[in-house]
Amino acid sequence: MSTDVLEPGRAAQPRAARPGARRPVPKPVLGLAGVLGFLLIWELVPRVGLVQPRFLPPASEVIIALVRDFGLTAFWVAVGHTLMAWAIGLAAAVVAAGILGLVIGMSPFLRRFTNSTIEFLRPVPSVALIPLAVLLFGVKIESSLMLIIYACFWQVLIQVLYGVADVDNVATQIAQSYGFSKLQRIRHVVFPTVLPYLMTGIRLAASVALILAITAELIIGSPGLGREIADAQSGGAISGMYALVLATGLLGVAINIVMRQVEQRLLSWHPSVRGEVVL
Amino acid sequence: MKTLKSLAYVVALPLLLVLLWWASTRGEPNFFVPTPSALVDVFGPTWFEGRITGDVLPSVGRLLAGLAIAIILGIVVGLLVGLNRTLRALTEPVFEFFRALPPPVLVPVLILLVGLNDGMKVAVIVVGCIWPVLLNTIEGVRSIDPVQNETTRSYGISGLNRIRYQVLPSAAPTIMAGIRQSLSIGLILMVISEMFGSSSGLGFTILQFQRSFAIPEMWSGILVLGLIGLALSLIFQWCERRVLRWYHGLKEVENAA
């Protein structure tokens, strides 16, 4: 347990050794207390009258609405739509950016040649493409995909470019003197260096993809959780809307946890992950 | 000669792409994609006759206000939480939840709570942008070198001085990474908050062009948003280089060794 170990910075303080001193409360307990405290404040704010309950219903009402949602098929269909757009968009962006990143990154000429264009296109906010997506595809999943792929592509591409630039010169020279072919060099020298960068890019892109999936649904109206939120708001189902907002947050947390697990599995050999496990 | 060559590298691909665009739209006119010349023709009248001051500047103002509040609040709260181990454990799951919450869903919530006004738009940007800054500040403060902590303590440096001369500089690279993430989120939220039940602003205008099928004008709006994004990222890079000059210098020395 990390909490049992004294932090090096605190070792000099005599406080911990004093008889009768409080033992540190375990971290998960504190975390749970924090969550409960947050829910309690949320419950009290509308009940006391700080905010009108018709604008912010008490936490208990929202949680009941969320539990009710869990029993509805329509809710899971919406979750399915959102997750499908998320997964297809993310996968397409990762494949395209991964391959292009390797090709561009490994050629010094291409890197210089494309640099200005990449730096110009990258900061263009993907939501600027919303009107275009509506014109081209209307209220269909393709609209969401267009936004998701555009936004995620840059996240992954930049990371892969950084990764290729980080490849060790000595390793490249050794591979050359051993007569590695281009493919072998990519497989055994470049790819292992790029992988941690790629995973960081994918992890960032995973949350960006969720943001844009929800955004497209909210504004364009393609099917999914975002559209349900917009519908609930315009229909005046306020507890229902808060329940859906809570659900998107939980979905985001779940995606983060899964991506972190995948990253640790794939990079179990890498020093950064090995270090984390020891802690 | 050398500068000429690097200039050629900078402009070659953009020129090629514009040429390609020009060539591909020259034959039969595509309804969705205007020719470059049509876009240029439309750009001036669309934006310079009133819309710059009426729509663009207010939007950018709200964006900058929201970002500034989010960054200051994020760093201050991040320092408070990061320096206190109990507080950190207490708030961690709640903060993780808010970070994972897709910021656009806050737009309908804040419309309810604040109403349809400028305050709502700034609030949306603040509430969306604060999390990367806040969590990165906590992370940066947490991972300060313990030897450095003991050194400051044994020299009797504490309180505000410690924060100013030890904590903030050590956490600066992580904090800057958080601010970089919050920039693009802020821009997204600026546009969305205006697309969602508003009657002015850049996001509203672009959506309006699309609904009235004013295609070249719509593209010019996308171009304006791109330029704002580019300007924001250039300004940030310049600031980052200044703030972290010592850090990049240190990295270069380390890499050279």
Predicted pLDDT of residue B51: 74
Task: State how far the alpha carbon of B184 is from the alpha carbons of A136, B112, B163, in Å.
Answer: 25, 25, 28
Predicted pLDDT of residue A79: 94
Predicted pLDDT of residue A140: 85
Q: What is the pTM of this model?
A: 0.84
CA distance B115 to chain A (A): 10
Taking 50 as the pLDDT cut, the residues of chain B under it are none
* Band of pLDDT at residue A14, cut at 50, 70 and 90: very low
Give the number of beta-carbon pairs within 8 Å between A and B: 179
Residue that the structure tokens 């859906």 belong to? A244
CA A162, A191, A151: angle at the middle one, nearest 5? 50
| Sign of the alpha-carbon dihedral angle for A58, A61, A67, A71 | negative
CA A177, A183, A189: angle at the middle one, nearest 5? 60
Q: Please answer yes or no on whether A9 and B146 come within 8 Å at the CB atom.
A: yes
Predicted pLDDT of residue A80: 94
Mean pLDDT of chain A: 85
* Residues in B touching A25 (Cβ below 8 Å): 86, 89
Predicted pLDDT of residue A275: 52
| Structure tokens that stand for B214 in this block | 């004013």
Nearest-CA neighbor of B66 among B204, B175, B186? B186
CA B133 – CA B122 distance, rounded (Å): 17
Residue A5 has pLDDT above 60, yes or no: no
Predicted pLDDT of residue B130: 94
* Residues in B touching A113 (Cβ below 8 Å): 9, 12-13
Q: How many CB atoms lie within 10 A of CB A55?
A: 14
* Residues in B touching A125 (Cβ below 8 Å): 184, 187-188, 191, 225-226, 229
Q: What is the mean pLDDT of residues A23-51?
A: 87
Interface of A with B in 130-149 (CB under 8 A): 130-132, 134-136
| Structure tokens that stand for A168 in this block | 């060790």
Interface of A with B in 166-205 (CB under 8 A): none
CA A7 – CA B146 distance, rounded (Å): 8
pLDDT in tens, A212-243: 999 999 988 888 999 999 999 888 888 999 99
Residue A114 has pLDDT above 70, yes or no: yes
Q: Which residues contact B36 (CB under 8 A, 6 or more apart)?
A: B18, B21, B22, B25
* Band of pLDDT at residue A22, cut at 50, 70 and 90: low
Task: Report percent pLDDT > 90 for chain A.
Answer: 37
Q: What is the DSSP letter of A267?
A: T
Q: For chain A, list the domains and their CATH numbers.
A: 74-225 (1.10.3720.10)
Chain B residue closest in CA terms to A221:
B196
A20: left (phi over 0), alpha (psi -120 to 50) or beta: left
